[in-house]
Amino acid sequence: MSVNAQTILNAAYADLGVIGLGDTLDASLAQDGLRRLNALVNSWGTQTKTMPFIARQVFPTTGGKGGPSNPYTIGPGGDFDTSRPAGLTGAGLLLNSSSPPVEIPRGVLTDDGWEAIQIKDLSNALWTNVYFNATYSNNLATINLWPVPNTSQNSCVIYRRDIIQGFADLTTAYDFPYGYQEALQYNVAVRMARANGVPLSTIPDVVALASQTLGAIKRANYTITDLPIDPAITLIADRRAGYNINTGTGGGS
């Protein structure tokens, strides 16, 4: 559904009783409302369940780049030129030399996992792990690849929860998934209430709807994940599996 900030703010101010239905919104109120609306959208970027979908993005890599002293930057204008992600849900190595290209899943390291790697500048054509560091310099985060690729032949695939974007102005219309327009309307109304002299105790219905609509989009954004299984359970007879204390097998026994 396409909607602009003006429509959302008109409804929100009407919910507060600041303007009547069909009234023209004062320019100063409109600009303050736009600022608060964008602040609300920005804060939702920190909440996983307000992000409506998983995006897959592919970026070229450069031989010799990706180590601790020369990471990839990710964000507007970065090496990986896109919006700055809050984190990664998955990653892959795309082998461009094959036809069609083959994507090999790669692990996303935790902070502890990255710290535990002793030779971070080790190089190889096929990296096995991706580390996302949520730095914030010029709106850029960083990504390390390990081992550091020594070829530019392959590409890096990332999977991320994508956030909804803010409003550039009052009139530009944007597409939102189902439920977002109402959630934005009632939640920005709650945020504007105090600045407009409206005690929350006088608008309990708006407060309740803000909570209900936000909860609805979070439930809609809930995703099912695959359940990981310990290899000690599925590969008991395999010497590479963990040791099974019940059978005495596995773990090289």
As a whole number of angstroms, the distance between CA 104 and CA 22 comes to 56
Nearest to 3 by CA among 179, 177, 176, 191: 176
Banded model confidence at residue 5, pLDDT cuts 50, 70, 90: very high
Banded model confidence at residue 119, pLDDT cuts 50, 70, 90: very high
- The pLDDT, as a whole number, for residue 235 is 47
28-41 average pLDDT score: 95
Q: Report DSSP state, residue 214.
A: H
Structure tokens at 122: 């080790």
pLDDT at 223 over 80: no
State phi, psi for 4 to the nearest 5 degrees.
Answer: -110, 170
Please report, as a single letter, which amino acid is at residue 78.
G
State phi, psi for 219 to the nearest 5 degrees.
Answer: -65, -40
Please write the tens of the pLDDT for every residue from 72-85. Answer: 999 999 999 998 88
Give the DSSP H/E element, type plus range, for residue 193.
Answer: helix 180-193
- The model carries a pTM of 0.74
Mean residue pLDDT across the chain? 89
As a whole number of angstroms, the distance between CA 36 and CA 6 comes to 13
